[in-house]
A and B are shown apart, each in its own frame.
Chain A
Protein backbone atom coordinates (compact mmCIF):
# COMPACT_ATOMS: atom_id res chain seq x y z
CA UNK A 1 0.00 0.00 0.00
CA UNK A 2 2.94 2.35 0.67
CA UNK A 3 4.04 1.89 -2.94
CA UNK A 4 0.57 2.80 -4.19
CA UNK A 5 0.30 5.87 -1.94
CA UNK A 6 3.79 6.98 -3.04
CA UNK A 7 2.82 6.57 -6.68
CA UNK A 8 -0.44 8.50 -6.17
CA UNK A 9 1.36 11.38 -4.44
CA UNK A 10 3.97 11.59 -7.20
CA UNK A 11 1.44 11.32 -9.99
CA UNK A 12 -0.91 13.90 -8.41
CA UNK A 13 1.88 16.35 -7.65
CA UNK A 14 3.22 16.33 -11.22
CA UNK A 15 -0.32 16.79 -12.54
CA UNK A 16 -0.40 20.12 -10.62
CA UNK A 17 -4.15 19.74 -10.15
CA UNK A 18 -3.68 20.23 -6.42
CA UNK A 19 -2.86 23.88 -6.99
CA UNK A 20 -6.46 25.18 -7.08
CA UNK A 21 -7.79 23.66 -3.86
CA UNK A 22 -4.54 24.15 -1.92
CA UNK A 23 -4.16 27.76 -3.07
CA UNK A 24 -7.84 28.34 -2.24
CA UNK A 25 -7.56 27.19 1.36
CA UNK A 26 -4.23 28.94 1.93
CA UNK A 27 -5.65 32.25 0.71
CA UNK A 28 -8.83 31.83 2.77
CA UNK A 29 -6.86 31.07 5.94
CA UNK A 30 -4.44 33.95 5.36
CA UNK A 31 -7.32 36.38 4.88
CA UNK A 32 -9.08 35.11 8.01
CA UNK A 33 -5.99 35.59 10.14
CA UNK A 34 -4.92 38.86 8.53
CA UNK A 35 -6.63 40.64 11.43
CA UNK A 36 -5.53 40.02 14.98
CA UNK A 37 -6.54 38.97 17.52
CA UNK A 38 -9.05 36.18 16.77
CA UNK A 39 -11.22 34.00 19.02
CA UNK A 40 -9.72 30.49 19.14
CA UNK A 41 -12.56 28.04 18.53
CA UNK A 42 -14.63 30.38 16.35
CA UNK A 43 -11.67 30.79 14.02
CA UNK A 44 -10.96 27.06 14.02
CA UNK A 45 -14.61 26.39 13.25
CA UNK A 46 -14.41 28.69 10.22
CA UNK A 47 -11.16 27.19 8.90
CA UNK A 48 -12.59 23.68 9.35
CA UNK A 49 -15.42 24.59 7.02
CA UNK A 50 -12.88 26.04 4.56
CA UNK A 51 -11.08 22.70 4.74
CA UNK A 52 -14.33 20.83 4.07
CA UNK A 53 -14.84 22.80 0.85
CA UNK A 54 -11.18 22.57 -0.17
CA UNK A 55 -11.06 18.80 0.45
CA UNK A 56 -14.20 18.22 -1.62
CA UNK A 57 -12.46 20.06 -4.47
CA UNK A 58 -9.13 18.36 -3.78
CA UNK A 59 -10.83 14.96 -3.75
CA UNK A 60 -12.49 15.53 -7.11
CA UNK A 61 -9.29 16.78 -8.71
CA UNK A 62 -7.29 13.87 -7.26
CA UNK A 63 -9.78 11.17 -8.22
CA UNK A 64 -10.07 12.55 -11.76
CA UNK A 65 -6.36 13.13 -12.36
CA UNK A 66 -5.55 9.54 -13.34
CA UNK A 67 -6.08 8.52 -16.98
CA UNK A 68 -8.66 5.73 -17.26
CA UNK A 69 -6.22 3.39 -19.06
CA UNK A 70 -3.52 3.98 -16.44
CA UNK A 71 -6.11 3.22 -13.76
CA UNK A 72 -6.66 -0.17 -15.45
CA UNK A 73 -2.92 -0.84 -15.39
CA UNK A 74 -2.65 -0.04 -11.68
CA UNK A 75 -5.69 -2.17 -10.81
CA UNK A 76 -4.18 -5.16 -12.64
CA UNK A 77 -0.80 -4.62 -10.96
CA UNK A 78 -2.57 -4.49 -7.58
CA UNK A 79 -4.81 -7.43 -8.52
CA UNK A 80 -7.73 -5.59 -6.88
CA UNK A 81 -9.91 -2.60 -7.66
CA UNK A 82 -10.82 -2.34 -3.99
CA UNK A 83 -7.17 -2.07 -3.01
CA UNK A 84 -6.86 0.75 -5.55
CA UNK A 85 -9.81 2.57 -3.96
CA UNK A 86 -8.45 2.07 -0.44
CA UNK A 87 -5.08 3.46 -1.58
CA UNK A 88 -6.78 6.52 -3.08
CA UNK A 89 -8.78 7.15 0.10
CA UNK A 90 -5.70 6.77 2.31
CA UNK A 91 -3.73 9.17 0.10
CA UNK A 92 -6.49 11.75 0.33
CA UNK A 93 -6.77 11.20 4.08
CA UNK A 94 -3.04 11.87 4.40
CA UNK A 95 -3.24 15.02 2.30
CA UNK A 96 -6.14 16.18 4.47
CA UNK A 97 -4.12 15.61 7.64
CA UNK A 98 -1.22 17.55 6.19
CA UNK A 99 -3.45 20.54 5.39
CA UNK A 100 -5.14 20.09 8.77
CA UNK A 101 -1.81 20.31 10.59
CA UNK A 102 -0.78 23.47 8.74
CA UNK A 103 -4.15 25.18 9.23
CA UNK A 104 -4.36 24.35 12.94
CA UNK A 105 -0.75 25.22 13.76
CA UNK A 106 -0.43 28.38 11.65
CA UNK A 107 -2.44 30.72 13.95
CA UNK A 108 -0.75 29.23 17.03
CA UNK A 109 2.73 29.81 15.62
CA UNK A 110 1.73 33.20 14.22
CA UNK A 111 0.15 34.41 17.44
CA UNK A 112 -3.16 35.13 15.77
CA UNK A 113 -5.38 34.27 18.75
CA UNK A 114 -6.60 36.53 21.54
CA UNK A 115 -5.54 33.97 24.16
CA UNK A 116 -3.36 30.84 24.35
CA UNK A 117 -5.08 28.03 22.44
CA UNK A 118 -4.12 25.27 24.88
CA UNK A 119 -3.44 21.64 24.07
CA UNK A 120 -7.03 20.51 24.62
CA UNK A 121 -8.47 23.00 22.16
CA UNK A 122 -5.71 22.31 19.62
CA UNK A 123 -6.49 18.58 19.76
CA UNK A 124 -10.22 19.24 19.39
CA UNK A 125 -9.51 21.59 16.48
CA UNK A 126 -7.20 19.07 14.81
CA UNK A 127 -9.85 16.33 15.07
CA UNK A 128 -12.65 18.63 13.90
CA UNK A 129 -10.64 19.77 10.86
CA UNK A 130 -9.77 16.19 10.00
CA UNK A 131 -13.40 15.09 10.21
CA UNK A 132 -14.69 17.94 8.03
CA UNK A 133 -11.85 17.41 5.55
CA UNK A 134 -12.62 13.72 5.31
CA UNK A 135 -16.33 14.52 4.91
CA UNK A 136 -15.42 16.60 1.86
CA UNK A 137 -13.33 13.72 0.56
CA UNK A 138 -16.14 11.18 0.97
CA UNK A 139 -18.49 13.40 -1.02
CA UNK A 140 -15.96 13.62 -3.83
CA UNK A 141 -15.71 9.80 -3.99
CA UNK A 142 -19.23 9.63 -5.36
CA UNK A 143 -18.86 12.52 -7.77
CA UNK A 144 -15.63 11.50 -9.56
CA UNK A 145 -15.79 11.04 -13.31
CA UNK A 146 -16.11 7.24 -13.20
CA UNK A 147 -19.33 7.71 -11.20
CA UNK A 148 -20.63 10.98 -12.71
CA UNK A 149 -19.12 11.20 -16.21
CA UNK A 150 -20.25 14.77 -16.91
CA UNK A 151 -17.97 17.19 -15.06
CA UNK A 152 -20.56 19.99 -15.01
CA UNK A 153 -23.12 17.73 -13.30
CA UNK A 154 -20.53 16.61 -10.74
CA UNK A 155 -19.51 20.21 -9.99
CA UNK A 156 -23.15 21.29 -9.69
CA UNK A 157 -24.02 18.44 -7.36
CA UNK A 158 -20.94 19.11 -5.27
CA UNK A 159 -21.86 22.78 -4.87
CA UNK A 160 -25.42 21.90 -3.86
CA UNK A 161 -24.18 19.36 -1.32
CA UNK A 162 -21.69 21.83 0.14
CA UNK A 163 -24.29 24.56 0.50
CA UNK A 164 -26.88 22.17 2.00
CA UNK A 165 -24.31 20.67 4.39
CA UNK A 166 -23.15 24.02 5.71
CA UNK A 167 -26.64 25.41 6.04
CA UNK A 168 -28.15 22.22 7.47
CA UNK A 169 -29.78 24.02 10.41
CA UNK A 170 -31.82 26.20 8.05
CA UNK A 171 -32.64 23.20 5.86
CA UNK A 172 -33.80 21.27 8.94
CA UNK A 173 -36.27 24.06 9.73
CA UNK A 174 -37.77 23.68 6.25
CA UNK A 175 -37.74 19.87 6.19
CA UNK A 176 -39.15 18.49 9.43
CA UNK A 177 -38.16 15.07 10.76
CA UNK A 178 -34.83 13.31 11.09
CA UNK A 179 -34.09 13.13 7.34
CA UNK A 180 -31.78 16.15 7.22
CA UNK A 181 -29.85 15.06 10.29
CA UNK A 182 -29.38 11.54 8.96
CA UNK A 183 -28.82 12.12 5.26
CA UNK A 184 -26.90 15.37 4.98
CA UNK A 185 -23.17 15.29 5.75
CA UNK A 186 -22.88 16.42 9.41
CA UNK A 187 -20.86 19.51 8.61
CA UNK A 188 -23.02 21.94 10.53
CA UNK A 189 -23.11 19.88 13.78
CA UNK A 190 -19.30 19.59 13.81
CA UNK A 191 -18.91 23.28 12.98
CA UNK A 192 -21.38 24.16 15.74
CA UNK A 193 -19.67 21.88 18.27
CA UNK A 194 -16.28 23.39 17.50
CA UNK A 195 -17.62 26.91 17.77
CA UNK A 196 -19.20 26.21 21.17
CA UNK A 197 -16.56 23.76 22.38
CA UNK A 198 -15.67 26.04 25.32
CA UNK A 199 -19.26 25.98 26.60
CA UNK A 200 -20.33 22.42 25.67
CA UNK A 201 -19.46 19.32 27.72
CA UNK A 202 -16.56 17.42 26.13
CA UNK A 203 -18.78 14.33 25.81
CA UNK A 204 -21.25 16.28 23.69
CA UNK A 205 -18.48 17.44 21.35
CA UNK A 206 -17.12 13.90 21.11
CA UNK A 207 -20.60 12.55 20.35
CA UNK A 208 -20.89 14.97 17.44
CA UNK A 209 -17.43 13.95 16.21
CA UNK A 210 -18.39 10.27 16.47
CA UNK A 211 -21.49 10.95 14.38
CA UNK A 212 -19.32 12.50 11.65
CA UNK A 213 -16.83 9.62 11.85
CA UNK A 214 -19.57 7.00 11.46
CA UNK A 215 -20.96 8.95 8.48
CA UNK A 216 -17.50 9.02 6.87
CA UNK A 217 -16.86 5.32 7.51
CA UNK A 218 -20.25 4.30 6.12
CA UNK A 219 -19.81 6.34 2.94
CA UNK A 220 -16.21 5.24 2.41
CA UNK A 221 -17.08 1.61 3.18
CA UNK A 222 -19.92 1.53 0.67
CA UNK A 223 -17.69 3.21 -1.92
CA UNK A 224 -14.97 0.55 -1.44
CA UNK A 225 -17.56 -2.22 -1.67
CA UNK A 226 -19.05 -0.77 -4.88
CA UNK A 227 -15.65 -0.14 -6.45
CA UNK A 228 -15.00 -3.89 -6.35
CA UNK A 229 -18.14 -4.52 -8.37
CA UNK A 230 -17.64 -1.99 -11.14
CA UNK A 231 -16.29 -2.39 -14.67
CA UNK A 232 -13.08 -0.58 -15.58
CA UNK A 233 -13.07 -0.80 -19.36
CA UNK A 234 -13.44 2.93 -20.05
CA UNK A 235 -10.50 4.27 -22.01
CA UNK A 236 -11.12 8.03 -21.68
Chain B
Protein backbone atom coordinates (compact mmCIF):
# COMPACT_ATOMS: atom_id res chain seq x y z
CA UNK B 1 0.00 0.00 0.00
CA UNK B 2 1.20 3.53 -0.75
CA UNK B 3 0.29 7.09 0.18
CA UNK B 4 -2.22 6.13 2.83
CA UNK B 5 -3.12 8.83 5.30
CA UNK B 6 -6.09 8.50 7.61
CA UNK B 7 -7.29 9.55 11.01
CA UNK B 8 -9.81 7.56 13.03
CA UNK B 9 -11.63 9.51 15.74
CA UNK B 10 -13.58 8.14 18.72
CA UNK B 11 -17.31 7.86 18.15
CA UNK B 12 -17.08 7.87 14.36
CA UNK B 13 -17.55 5.24 11.67
CA UNK B 14 -15.08 5.01 8.82
CA UNK B 15 -15.93 2.99 5.72
CA UNK B 16 -13.32 1.53 3.40
CA UNK B 17 -14.59 0.74 -0.06
CA UNK B 18 -13.06 -0.44 -3.31
CA UNK B 19 -12.83 -3.47 -5.54
CA UNK B 20 -11.52 -6.84 -4.39
CA UNK B 21 -7.76 -6.63 -3.92
CA UNK B 22 -7.79 -2.86 -3.47
CA UNK B 23 -6.13 -3.15 -0.04
CA UNK B 24 -9.08 -2.82 2.36
CA UNK B 25 -8.24 -5.96 4.36
CA UNK B 26 -4.55 -5.11 4.44
CA UNK B 27 -5.34 -1.65 5.79
CA UNK B 28 -7.52 -3.20 8.50
CA UNK B 29 -4.68 -5.64 9.35
CA UNK B 30 -2.33 -2.68 9.72
CA UNK B 31 -4.78 -0.89 12.02
CA UNK B 32 -5.13 -4.12 14.02
CA UNK B 33 -1.35 -4.25 14.47
CA UNK B 34 -1.04 -7.51 12.54
CA UNK B 35 1.08 -6.06 9.75
CA UNK B 36 4.08 -3.85 10.35
CA UNK B 37 4.62 -0.72 8.32
CA UNK B 38 7.65 -0.69 6.04
CA UNK B 39 7.54 3.10 6.18
CA UNK B 40 5.35 5.70 7.80
CA UNK B 41 3.86 5.78 11.27
CA UNK B 42 0.83 4.40 13.05
CA UNK B 43 0.03 6.29 16.24
CA UNK B 44 -2.71 5.89 18.80
CA UNK B 45 -4.03 8.74 20.89
CA UNK B 46 -4.75 6.49 23.86
CA UNK B 47 -2.25 4.16 25.48
CA UNK B 48 -3.52 0.59 25.85
CA UNK B 49 -6.19 1.02 23.20
CA UNK B 50 -8.59 -1.93 23.25
CA UNK B 51 -9.31 -3.30 19.79
CA UNK B 52 -11.93 -5.66 18.45
CA UNK B 53 -11.25 -7.29 15.10
CA UNK B 54 -13.56 -9.40 12.97
CA UNK B 55 -11.58 -10.70 10.00
CA UNK B 56 -13.03 -11.92 6.76
CA UNK B 57 -13.47 -15.70 6.31
CA UNK B 58 -13.68 -16.76 9.94
CA UNK B 59 -12.58 -20.41 10.26
CA UNK B 60 -14.86 -23.29 11.29
CA UNK B 61 -13.10 -24.38 14.48
CA UNK B 62 -13.74 -27.62 16.35
CA UNK B 63 -14.71 -25.84 19.57
CA UNK B 64 -18.33 -25.20 20.51
CA UNK B 65 -19.58 -21.62 20.09
CA UNK B 66 -19.83 -21.08 23.84
CA UNK B 67 -16.42 -22.58 24.68
CA UNK B 68 -14.80 -20.56 21.96
CA UNK B 69 -16.40 -17.26 22.91
CA UNK B 70 -15.80 -17.72 26.62
CA UNK B 71 -12.18 -18.55 25.85
CA UNK B 72 -11.88 -15.36 23.79
CA UNK B 73 -13.48 -13.40 26.63
CA UNK B 74 -10.91 -14.69 29.11
CA UNK B 75 -8.10 -13.89 26.70
CA UNK B 76 -9.48 -10.36 26.26
CA UNK B 77 -9.43 -9.90 30.02
CA UNK B 78 -13.07 -10.54 31.02
CA UNK B 79 -13.53 -12.34 34.31
CA UNK B 80 -15.40 -15.67 34.28
CA UNK B 81 -18.78 -14.26 35.34
CA UNK B 82 -18.62 -11.20 33.08
CA UNK B 83 -17.52 -13.35 30.14
CA UNK B 84 -20.34 -15.85 30.65
CA UNK B 85 -22.91 -13.08 30.88
CA UNK B 86 -21.62 -11.14 27.86
CA UNK B 87 -21.40 -14.28 25.71
CA UNK B 88 -24.97 -15.27 26.62
CA UNK B 89 -26.22 -11.74 25.89
CA UNK B 90 -24.57 -11.57 22.47
CA UNK B 91 -25.52 -15.14 21.49
CA UNK B 92 -29.14 -14.27 22.27
CA UNK B 93 -28.90 -10.96 20.40
CA UNK B 94 -27.69 -12.70 17.26
CA UNK B 95 -30.15 -15.58 17.59
CA UNK B 96 -27.49 -18.22 18.26
CA UNK B 97 -28.61 -19.14 21.76
CA UNK B 98 -29.84 -22.58 20.75
CA UNK B 99 -26.54 -23.31 18.94
CA UNK B 100 -24.25 -22.41 21.83
CA UNK B 101 -23.27 -26.06 22.48
CA UNK B 102 -22.72 -26.94 18.83
CA UNK B 103 -19.27 -27.10 17.30
CA UNK B 104 -18.36 -24.22 14.98
CA UNK B 105 -17.26 -26.80 12.42
CA UNK B 106 -20.95 -27.50 11.70
CA UNK B 107 -21.98 -23.84 11.36
CA UNK B 108 -23.10 -22.18 8.14
CA UNK B 109 -21.19 -19.19 6.74
CA UNK B 110 -23.67 -16.74 8.23
CA UNK B 111 -23.56 -18.38 11.66
CA UNK B 112 -19.76 -18.32 11.64
CA UNK B 113 -19.88 -14.65 10.75
CA UNK B 114 -22.13 -14.02 13.73
CA UNK B 115 -19.65 -15.79 16.04
CA UNK B 116 -16.87 -13.77 14.44
CA UNK B 117 -18.73 -10.52 15.14
CA UNK B 118 -19.57 -11.60 18.69
CA UNK B 119 -15.91 -12.28 19.54
CA UNK B 120 -15.01 -8.79 18.29
CA UNK B 121 -17.74 -7.20 20.44
CA UNK B 122 -17.03 -9.08 23.69
CA UNK B 123 -15.16 -6.27 25.43
CA UNK B 124 -16.88 -3.17 23.93
CA UNK B 125 -13.60 -2.11 22.30
CA UNK B 126 -12.41 1.46 21.81
CA UNK B 127 -11.49 0.61 18.22
CA UNK B 128 -13.56 -1.90 16.27
CA UNK B 129 -12.25 -3.21 12.95
CA UNK B 130 -14.66 -5.17 10.78
CA UNK B 131 -13.74 -6.78 7.48
CA UNK B 132 -16.93 -7.06 5.43
CA UNK B 133 -19.16 -7.42 8.50
CA UNK B 134 -22.39 -7.97 6.54
CA UNK B 135 -20.99 -10.89 4.56
CA UNK B 136 -23.27 -13.91 4.87
CA UNK B 137 -25.64 -12.32 7.41
CA UNK B 138 -29.39 -12.70 7.06
CA UNK B 139 -31.56 -9.57 7.11
CA UNK B 140 -32.49 -9.65 10.83
CA UNK B 141 -28.83 -10.15 11.75
CA UNK B 142 -27.85 -7.20 9.54
CA UNK B 143 -30.32 -4.99 11.42
CA UNK B 144 -29.08 -6.34 14.76
CA UNK B 145 -25.51 -5.58 13.79
CA UNK B 146 -26.35 -2.07 12.66
CA UNK B 147 -28.15 -1.39 15.96
CA UNK B 148 -25.19 -2.71 17.95
CA UNK B 149 -22.73 -0.65 15.95
CA UNK B 150 -24.82 2.49 16.34
CA UNK B 151 -24.88 1.89 20.10
CA UNK B 152 -21.10 1.39 20.24
CA UNK B 153 -20.58 4.50 18.15
CA UNK B 154 -22.69 6.55 20.54
CA UNK B 155 -20.61 5.17 23.42
CA UNK B 156 -17.44 6.45 21.74
CA UNK B 157 -16.11 3.40 19.90
CA UNK B 158 -14.27 4.21 16.70
CA UNK B 159 -15.48 1.92 13.91
CA UNK B 160 -13.54 1.09 10.78
CA UNK B 161 -15.05 -1.36 8.32
CA UNK B 162 -14.59 -2.54 4.78
CA UNK B 163 -17.87 -2.98 3.01
CA UNK B 164 -19.57 -3.72 -0.27
CA UNK B 165 -23.11 -2.86 0.85
CA UNK B 166 -24.22 0.80 0.47
CA UNK B 167 -26.81 0.37 3.28
CA UNK B 168 -24.23 0.21 6.05
CA UNK B 169 -22.49 3.30 4.69
CA UNK B 170 -25.80 5.13 4.53
CA UNK B 171 -26.67 4.09 8.07
CA UNK B 172 -23.31 4.47 9.77
CA UNK B 173 -20.45 6.11 7.94
CA UNK B 174 -19.02 9.49 8.87
CA UNK B 175 -15.90 9.16 6.76
CA UNK B 176 -15.31 7.23 3.57
CA UNK B 177 -12.07 6.10 1.96
CA UNK B 178 -12.09 4.76 -1.58
CA UNK B 179 -9.15 2.43 -2.25
CA UNK B 180 -7.78 1.18 -5.51
CA UNK B 181 -4.66 -0.94 -6.03
CA UNK B 182 -3.36 -0.12 -2.57
CA UNK B 183 -3.79 3.63 -2.92
CA UNK B 184 -6.30 6.04 -1.56
CA UNK B 185 -8.33 7.25 -4.49
CA UNK B 186 -10.79 9.48 -2.69
CA UNK B 187 -11.54 10.51 0.86
CA UNK B 188 -14.79 12.03 2.05
CA UNK B 189 -15.10 13.42 5.56
CA UNK B 190 -18.41 14.14 7.24
CA UNK B 191 -21.67 12.25 6.80
CA UNK B 192 -23.20 15.34 5.21
CA UNK B 193 -20.65 15.18 2.38
CA UNK B 194 -21.27 11.51 1.72
CA UNK B 195 -24.56 12.20 0.08
CA UNK B 196 -25.71 15.18 -1.94
CA UNK B 197 -29.18 16.56 -1.11
CA UNK B 198 -31.78 14.63 -3.09
CA UNK B 199 -32.85 16.47 -6.23
CA UNK B 200 -34.90 15.87 -9.36
CA UNK B 201 -33.89 16.51 -12.96
CA UNK B 202 -36.92 17.49 -15.08
CA UNK B 203 -36.85 17.77 -18.86
CA UNK B 204 -39.80 19.64 -20.41
CA UNK B 205 -40.74 21.37 -23.65
CA UNK B 206 -39.63 24.97 -23.68
CA UNK B 207 -42.09 27.58 -22.32
CA UNK B 208 -42.74 31.20 -23.13
CA UNK B 209 -39.78 33.29 -21.80
CA UNK B 210 -41.98 34.86 -19.09
CA UNK B 211 -43.18 31.45 -17.91
CA UNK B 212 -39.57 30.18 -18.06
CA UNK B 213 -38.50 32.98 -15.74
CA UNK B 214 -41.38 32.19 -13.38
CA UNK B 215 -40.29 28.55 -13.19
CA UNK B 216 -36.67 29.60 -12.64
CA UNK B 217 -37.80 31.81 -9.77
CA UNK B 218 -39.32 28.90 -7.85
CA UNK B 219 -37.33 28.35 -4.60
CA UNK B 220 -35.15 25.23 -4.78
CA UNK B 221 -34.38 25.48 -8.49
CA UNK B 222 -30.64 24.81 -8.86
CA UNK B 223 -30.00 24.96 -12.59
CA UNK B 224 -31.94 25.59 -15.76
CA UNK B 225 -30.29 24.89 -19.09
CA UNK B 226 -31.23 23.81 -22.62
CA UNK B 227 -31.70 20.07 -23.00
CA UNK B 228 -31.36 18.02 -26.20
CA UNK B 229 -34.31 18.68 -28.56
CA UNK B 230 -37.16 16.21 -28.72
CA UNK B 231 -38.19 15.64 -32.36
CA UNK B 232 -37.40 19.23 -33.24
CA UNK B 233 -39.05 20.70 -30.15
CA UNK B 234 -36.75 22.74 -27.90
CA UNK B 235 -36.46 21.34 -24.41
CA UNK B 236 -35.22 22.65 -21.08
CA UNK B 237 -33.48 20.70 -18.33
CA UNK B 238 -34.27 21.79 -14.80
CA UNK B 239 -32.54 20.58 -11.61
CA UNK B 240 -34.61 21.25 -8.52
CA UNK B 241 -34.60 20.18 -4.86
CA UNK B 242 -36.76 17.08 -4.47
CA UNK B 243 -39.13 18.80 -2.04
CA UNK B 244 -39.94 21.52 -4.62
CA UNK B 245 -40.23 19.24 -7.64
CA UNK B 246 -44.04 18.91 -7.43
CA UNK B 247 -44.43 22.71 -7.40
CA UNK B 248 -42.24 23.05 -10.47
CA UNK B 249 -44.07 20.28 -12.32
CA UNK B 250 -47.43 21.90 -11.61
CA UNK B 251 -46.15 25.30 -12.76
CA UNK B 252 -44.70 23.85 -15.99
CA UNK B 253 -47.96 22.06 -16.81
CA UNK B 254 -50.05 25.13 -15.92
CA UNK B 255 -47.92 27.23 -18.30
CA UNK B 256 -48.68 24.79 -21.15
CA UNK B 257 -45.43 22.85 -21.05
CA UNK B 258 -45.12 19.11 -21.51
CA UNK B 259 -43.01 16.89 -19.25
CA UNK B 260 -40.49 14.76 -21.22
CA UNK B 261 -38.76 13.00 -18.31
CA UNK B 262 -38.25 13.11 -14.54
CA UNK B 263 -35.09 11.58 -12.98
CA UNK B 264 -34.13 11.48 -9.28
CA UNK B 265 -30.57 12.65 -8.44
CA UNK B 266 -28.26 12.70 -5.41
CA UNK B 267 -28.66 10.57 -2.31
CA UNK B 268 -26.08 7.76 -2.23
CA UNK B 269 -26.11 7.22 -5.98
CA UNK B 270 -22.44 8.18 -6.19
CA UNK B 271 -21.49 5.23 -3.97
CA UNK B 272 -22.02 2.73 -6.74
CA UNK B 273 -19.42 4.53 -8.78
CA UNK B 274 -16.99 4.82 -5.86
CA UNK B 275 -17.36 1.15 -5.01
CA UNK B 276 -16.28 0.21 -8.49
CA UNK B 277 -13.63 2.80 -9.34
CA UNK B 278 -12.37 2.43 -12.88
CA UNK B 279 -8.77 3.42 -13.42
CA UNK B 280 -9.12 6.71 -11.65
CA UNK B 281 -5.71 6.81 -9.98
CA UNK B 282 -4.15 10.14 -10.75
CA UNK B 283 -7.41 11.58 -12.01
CA UNK B 284 -7.88 13.76 -8.96
CA UNK B 285 -9.01 13.17 -5.42
CA UNK B 286 -11.99 14.53 -3.62
A binds B: yes
> Which of A's residues lie within 8 Å of B, judged by CB?
2-4, 6-7, 10-11, 14-15, 67, 69-70, 72-79, 81, 229-233, 235
State the CA gap A104–B59 with chains docked (Å).
39
Q: Shortest beta-carbon distance, B104 to chain A, in Å?
A: 10
Question: Which of B29, B58, B63 contacts A14, CB < 8 Å?
Answer: B63
State the CA gap A235–B129 with chains docked (Å).
17
State the CA gap A7–B72 with chains docked (Å).
8
Chain B, 72-97, CB within 8 A of any chain A CB = 72, 74-77
Q: Shortest beta-carbon distance, B118 to chain A, in Å?
A: 11
- List, sorted by A's number, 14 A–B pairs whose CB atoms are closer than 8 Å: A3-B71, A4-B74, A7-B71, A7-B74, A70-B59, A72-B34, A75-B34, A76-B32, A76-B33, A77-B75, A79-B33, A79-B48, A81-B34, A231-B35
State the CA gap A7–B74 with chains docked (Å).
9
B61: Cβ under 8 A from any A Cβ: yes
B154: Cβ under 8 A from any A Cβ: no
B162: Cβ under 8 A from any A Cβ: no
Question: Which of B26, B34, B56, B63 contacts A10, CB < 8 Å?
Answer: B63
Q: Which of A2, A3, A230, A231 has the most CB of B within 10 A?
A: A3
How many residues belonging to B are interface residues under a CB distance threshold of 8 Å?
30
B133: Cβ under 8 A from any A Cβ: no
Q: Which residues of B contact A6 (CB under 8 A)?
A: 71, 74
A-B pair count, CB < 8 Å, reads 81
Contact B53 A73, beta carbon cutoff 8 Å = yes
Contact A233 B35, beta carbon cutoff 8 Å = yes
Closest to A229 in B: B36
Known: A14-B62, A231-B36. 13 other contacts (CB 8 A): A4-B74, A7-B71, A69-B57, A72-B53, A74-B75, A76-B33, A76-B34, A77-B72, A77-B75, A78-B76, A231-B34, A235-B55, A235-B57
Interface of A is mostly: helix
B14: Cβ under 8 A from any A Cβ: no
Q: Which residues of B contact A230 (CB under 8 A)?
A: 36
Question: Which of B35, B55, B75 contacts A78, CB < 8 Å?
Answer: B75
Q: Which residues of A contact B57 (CB under 8 A)?
A: 69, 235
Contact A70 B61, beta carbon cutoff 8 Å = yes
Contact A73 B36, beta carbon cutoff 8 Å = no
B51: Cβ under 8 A from any A Cβ: yes
Contact A11 B61, beta carbon cutoff 8 Å = yes
B67: Cβ under 8 A from any A Cβ: yes
Q: Which residues of A contact B33 (CB under 8 A)?
A: 75-76, 79, 81
B52: Cβ under 8 A from any A Cβ: yes
State the CA gap A67–B63 with chains docked (Å).
12
Q: Which residues of B contact A78 (CB under 8 A)?
A: 75-76
Contact A233 B34, beta carbon cutoff 8 Å = yes
Q: Which residues of B contact A4 (CB under 8 A)?
A: 74-75
Q: Which residues of A contact B25 (CB under 8 A)?
A: 233
The answer to whether residues A10 and B75 also contact, given A72-B34, A232-B35 and a CB cut-off of 8 A, is no
Contact B72 A67, beta carbon cutoff 8 Å = no
State the CA gap A66–B53 with chains docked (Å).
17
Which 8 pairs, one residue from A and one from B, show the smallest C-beta to C-beta distance?
A: A3-B74, A7-B71, A67-B59, A76-B53, A232-B34, A14-B62, A77-B76, A233-B29
Closest to A14 in B: B62
B50: Cβ under 8 A from any A Cβ: yes
Q: Which residues of A contact B74 (CB under 8 A)?
A: 2-4, 6-7
Closest to A1 in B: B75
Q: Which residues of A contact B113 (CB under 8 A)?
A: none
Closest to B119 in A: A73
Question: Which of B26, B48, B55 contacts A73, CB < 8 Å?
Answer: B55
Q: Which of A73, A78, A79, A230 has the most CB of B within 10 A?
A: A73
Contact B55 A72, beta carbon cutoff 8 Å = yes
Q: Which residues of B contact A232 (CB under 8 A)?
A: 29, 34-35
Q: Shortest beta-carbon distance, B65 to chain A, in Å?
A: 13
Question: Which of B51, B56, B71 contacts A76, CB < 8 Å?
Answer: B51
Q: Shortest beta-carbon distance, A90 to chain B, in Å?
A: 14
State the CA gap A173–B92 with chains docked (Å).
68
Chain B, 121-172, CB within 8 A of any chain A CB = 129
State the CA gap A2–B71 with chains docked (Å).
10
The answer to whether residues A69 and B72 also contact, given A76-B33, A233-B34 and a CB cut-off of 8 A, is no
State the CA gap A11–B74 with chains docked (Å).
14
